[in-house]
Amino acid sequence: MRLNILFVLLVLACACGGTPGKDPPASSATVTKLSVITPAVSVPTSTPTPSGVQLTGQGFYLSQAPNGGFYAHYAFTMQNSDRRLLFEHVTFKVNFFGGEGEAVGGDAGDVPLILPTETVAVSGQTEVAARPTRIEVAIEPGQANDAKGLKALKPVDATYQPSTDRQAGARAEASITNPYNVDLHEITVTAVLYDAGGWIVGGASTLISLLPASGTSSVSLDILGSHPIPAKVVVFATISSDTVLDLRQR
């Protein structure tokens, strides 16, 4: 009788205890890394960040600085994929790297406002310590708020005017339309230069002090320095946070 009980206990121990000395297999996990984007090109990001704001393109060109160094003229675009929320005070940091991966310069700033589904363009210029071969742009989403029906200004194609004997520098020209029945003030306008492959190769920015109600204004942007001749130029216009506050109060 005692032997039968011992046999039953041994059978139960084998069925419940598993294989001694071995840990259960670890569960597999997916690790997501930020993509590193190659120089002077724009690479769309396939998956939006949790904030709804994603980088959609970036690039730069170089011009000679008086001291023998270089100016990096950069541009990048980012999109708010959310259909209801706007994002305020979106910060960005631009880093330039040399051929050995060393940091050679950078820039930083703040985008006051990105409306739902809007694509915003940013351009700038910074002096770098050596010739860069790669640009990286990092963005932080800022504060999200309900847009309450506010809509963005639509990007438009621009005409490109190369420099001539009478015109010292190249120029991009476009017309911006106001979809609201009220005047808009302090509109940021950015021209983004694309090559034949659709990659960003530079840009320029300016301000429009007044965009009349339901009207159209012409804008001209100077493209500084020696730059690649673009195959296409697109102009992006962005309204200010103060304008949004004014529109909400009407």
The answer to whether 45 and 56 have CB atoms below 8 angstroms apart is: yes
Per-residue model confidence as pLDDT tens digits over 39-65: 344 444 333 444 589 999 999 999 888
Alpha-carbon dihedral 43, 89, 177, 196, rounded to 10 degrees: -10
Per-residue model confidence as pLDDT tens digits over 180-225: 888 898 899 999 999 999 999 989 999 999 999 999 999 999 987 7
Inform me whether the pLDDT recorded for 34 exceeds 60: no
Least confident of 91-95, 134-138, 210-214, 238-242: 238-242
The answer to whether 123 and 111 have CB atoms below 8 angstroms apart is: no
Once rounded to an integer, what is the mean pLDDT over residues 115-123?
A: 95
State the pLDDT confidence band at 240, using cuts at 50, 70 and 90: confident
pLDDT at position 162: 87
Task: Please tell me which residue, 108 or 44, carries the higher pLDDT value.
Answer: 108
pLDDT at position 250: 59
Which tokens sit at 244? 């949004």
The answer to whether 72 and 96 have CB atoms below 8 angstroms apart is: yes
Least confident of 48-52, 78-82, 118-122: 48-52
197-227 exposure pattern, b = at least 16 Cβ within 10 A, e = fewer: eebbbbbbbbebeebeeeeebebebebebeb
Most confident listed range (7-11, 21-25, 232-236, 244-248): 232-236
Once rounded to an integer, what is the mean pLDDT over residues 113-130?
A: 94
Per-residue model confidence as pLDDT tens digits over 157-172: 999 998 876 656 789 9
Q: What is the mean pLDDT of the chain?
A: 80
Phi, psi dihedral angles at 222 (to 5 degrees): -80, 130
Task: Please tell me which residue, 63 or 98, carries the higher pLDDT value.
Answer: 98
- Between the alpha carbon of residue 79 and those of residues 3, 9, 162, 174, the distances in Å are 75, 66, 29, 21
Alpha helices for the chain (secondary structure H): 2-17, 241-248
CA-nearest of 193, 188, 184 to 157 is: 193
The answer to whether 129 and 103 have CB atoms below 8 angstroms apart is: no
